[in-house]
């Protein structure tokens, strides 16, 4: 089984000690967000094919990556760097620091282990299409040679996203919009050309309707990439977690409302204060990440 850690929260940034404790224990428990029923996930070497880590700040988990590698678990890091203005991303690492972290991970664990995420693409008065073209180009130039794939998607208008973004827009005096699919597709096509100029393939996450000609959908949980990292075949069937998702089958061990980076467009946090309270009260020896179940 491939373990996702985690698209629901930033485990490397905030929950590294919990993860390493559960790895040592050989398993954790996860609460199904749709039904509330907890289930067990084995983290024993015989049961884990590899890990996919999702992060915006890898530095707190530097020793953790070393430990996972020493235990001979292959892993891939889905590393988000967007470089947006602070009203949209209030406490992620500064862009130069994020780039430095990405380059360090790529040098240490290899380019196959790294995927850059420019995700989500937010359309606002602070981040216009012209901004995205210039900003993406600068980031691609800085990451040239450190990654061979960049994953993008356009922001989904989820209820939590709308509420959080509306609050940030009111507080910081900007506006946001949800353009027509043709406008999104045109921008993605331009970004794909920029990526190609920097030896990267651009893929689009779970939005087949936005694929320009010649651009493929992303496979964020990618058994083929993990196989290259591991130096052996890792077999997994395609089993996406939402319509249009091309990911291979995995188990995600994260929990919603446990990330405090405060991104205005976040879909995984109802409120930053609730997430902070959860983080403050987290028992790193618990089987569960966040509030457990009886």
The H-assigned helical ranges of 198-246 are: 223-230
The partner residues of 40 in beta bridges, in order of sequence, read 29
pLDDT band at 241 (very low <50, low <70, confident <90, very high): confident
| List of domains in the chain | 2-280 (3.20.20)
Alpha-helical (H) ranges within 95-202 are 95-109, 129-143, 159-172, 181-197
Q: Are the C-beta atoms of residues 55 and 61 closer than 8 Å to each other?
A: yes
Q: Are 47 and 290 in contact (CB under 8 A)?
A: no
Buried b (16+ CB within 10 A) or exposed e, 175-205: ebeeeeeeebbebbbbbbebbeebebebbbb
Residue 6 phi/psi, 5-degree rounding, is -160, 145
Q: What percent of the chain has pLDDT over 70?
A: 98
Assigned token pair, 246: 């091309």
pLDDT band at 177 (very low <50, low <70, confident <90, very high): very high
């Amino acid at each position: 089984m491939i373990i996702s850690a985690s698209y629901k929260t930033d485990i490397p940034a905030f929950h590294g000690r919990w993860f390493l404790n559960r790895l040592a224990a050989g398993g954790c428990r996860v609460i199904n967000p749709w039904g509330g029923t907890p289930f067990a996930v084995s983290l024993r070497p015989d049961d884990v094919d590899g890990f996919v880590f999702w992060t915006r700040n890898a530095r707190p988990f530097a020793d953790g990556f070393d430990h996972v590698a020493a235990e001979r678990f292959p892993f891939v890091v889905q590393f988000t760097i967007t470089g947006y203005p602070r009203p949209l991303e209030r406490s992620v690492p500064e862009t130069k620091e994020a780039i430095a972290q990405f380059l360090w991970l790529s040098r240490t664990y290899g380019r196959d282990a790294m995927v850059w995420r420019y995700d989500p693409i937010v359309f606002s008065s602070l981040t216009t299409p012209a901004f995205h073209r210039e900003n993406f180009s600068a980031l691609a130039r800085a990451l040239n040679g450190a990654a061979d794939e960049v994953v993008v998607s356009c922001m989904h208008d989820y209820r939590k996203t709308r509420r959080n973004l509306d609050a940030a827009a009111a507080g910081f005096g900007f506006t946001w919009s949800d353009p027509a699919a043709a406008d999104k597709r045109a921008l993605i096509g331009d970004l794909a050309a920029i990526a190609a100029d920097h030896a990267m393939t651009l893929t689009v996450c779970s939005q087949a309707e936005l694929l320009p000609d010649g651009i493929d959908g992303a496979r964020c949980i990618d058994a083929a990439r993990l196989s290259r990292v591991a130096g052996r075949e890792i077999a997994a069937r395609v089993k996406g977690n939402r319509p249009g998702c091309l990911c291979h089958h995995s188990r995600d061990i994260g929990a919603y409302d446990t990330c405090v980076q405060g991104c205005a467009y976040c879909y995984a946090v109802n409120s930053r204060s609730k997430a902070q309270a959860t983080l403050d009260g987290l028992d790193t020896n618990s089987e569960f990440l966040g509030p457990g179940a009886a």
